[in-house]
């Protein structure tokens, strides 16, 4: 497989690193020493896309990435996100131009850099016209604070409106064997506009890696506790789908997680998965998925097996679904 993919004309390793889990989201956070070791190991293994956000750990994750990786700034493509942050103890979505300009300065300081390569609007603030938010980010490009603009969890219509103001380099959305909403419209829109599709949670939040024994095993602070697909009944139904993935992984001499990532890479050269992990062995396993090459027939079989009407539960609860703008399949 080609060892680079392109975002805004810049080559990146086909698999990036989602950094969120190093600070929050999935239970007990790792120690600063463990986080540093993982980030540096990823860099040594060839990862060139590191993805963070102001939201992750409410600034902690950007500070971590900045502290550990800023001495190596010329070796990687840095992506962060604005538009969701913590203020007065509360999580806020705010896409007003003045807010985006202020929070960009905060991110630059935490990341210890003069410029962010790819800066996403983490969520479209529906109280603010998307054109206004993108206009503010375009001003940041003009000022040399950011190089490229991205969007996260938006519909094809919103992407087109944004792109009419300023070119959108990438759209980040959940994409995996069991989360295929982007195939409804966004992936095609990205291809028409020349934007990369950066796939977060490409392993279904560890589900497709076959690493979860039960929904009850999740820590109380694990965000999956509130996700419908990880509720007891839905989780059991979804687990039944993993047998075929396991069988084909054995035939391909790889792990289920590697096959799931390889399937995603097979969907097009414009797709860049960003699995996250806190484990060095899992990091190496994930990156080695670039060497797994399932054929068209196997990928089609997996796609049919994990089709949307066989997945139990939505990917988010109602409150989070109300915040995003993506097209959705009807629930099974």
Active-site residue list: 56
* 41's tokens: 């190991």
Burial class for 301, CB neighbours closer than 10 Å (0-12, 13-18, 19+): middle
* 82's tokens: 């604005």
List the end-to-end C-alpha distance of the chain, in Å, as a whole number. 35
Q: What is the DSSP string of 173-219?
A: EE-BTTB-GGGGTHHHHHHHHT-EEEEESTTTTTTTTT--S-GGGS-
Burial class for 307, CB neighbours closer than 10 Å (0-12, 13-18, 19+): middle
- How many Cβ atoms from other residues are within 10 Å of residue 10's Cβ? 17
Q: What are phi and psi of 109, to 5 degrees?
A: -65, -45
CA dist., res. 276 & res. 229, Å (int): 19
- How many Cβ atoms from other residues are within 10 Å of residue 321's Cβ? 13
Q: Can you tell me whether residue 151 is helix, strand or coil? A: strand
CA dist., res. 172 & res. 124, Å (int): 12
CB 160 within 8 A of CB 188: no
Candidates 134, 77, 139, 146; CA nearest to 108 is 146
CA dist., res. 148 & res. 141, Å (int): 7
């Amino acid at each position: 497989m080609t060892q680079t993919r392109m975002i805004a004309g810049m080559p990146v390793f086909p698999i990036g690193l989602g950094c969120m889990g190093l600070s929050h989201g999935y239970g007990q956070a790792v120690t600063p020493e463990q986080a540093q070791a993982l980030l540096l190991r990823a860099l040594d293994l060839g990862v060139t896309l590191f993805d963070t956000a102001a939201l992750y750990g409410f600034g902690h994750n950007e500070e971590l990435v900045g502290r550990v990786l800023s001495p190596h700034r010329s070796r990687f493509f840095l992506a962060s996100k604005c538009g969701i942050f913590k203020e007065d103890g509360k999580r806020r979505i705010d896409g007003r131009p003045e807010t985006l300009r202020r929070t960009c300065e905060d991110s630059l300081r935490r990341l210890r850099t003069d410029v962010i390569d790819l800066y996403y609007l983490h969520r479209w603030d529906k109280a603010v016209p998307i054109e206004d938010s993108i206009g503010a980010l375009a001003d940041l490009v003009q000022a040399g604070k950011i190089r490229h603009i991205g969007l996260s969890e938006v519909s094809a219509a919103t992407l087109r409106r944004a792109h009419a103001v300023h070119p959108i380099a990438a759209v980040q959305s959940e994409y995996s064997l069991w989360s295929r909403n982007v195939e409804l419209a966004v992936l095609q829109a990205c291809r028409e506009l020349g934007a990369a599709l950066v796939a977060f949670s490409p392993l279904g939040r560890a589900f497709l890696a076959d690493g979860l024994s039960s929904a009850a095993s999740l820590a109380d602070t694990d965000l999956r506790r509130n996700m419908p697909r990880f509720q007891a009944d839905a989780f059991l139904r979804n687990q039944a789908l993993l047998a075929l993935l396991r069988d084909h992984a054995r035939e391909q001499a790889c792990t289920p997680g590697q096959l799931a990532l390889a399937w995603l890479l097979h969907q097009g050269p414009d797709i860049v998965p960003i699995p996250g992990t806190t484990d060095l062995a899992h990091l190496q396993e994930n990156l080695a998925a670039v060497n797994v090459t399932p054929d068209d027939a196997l990928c089609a079989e997996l796609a049919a097996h994990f089709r949307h009407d066989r997945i139990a539960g939505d990917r988010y609860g109602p409150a989070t679904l109300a915040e995003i703008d993506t097209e959705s399949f009807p629930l099974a």
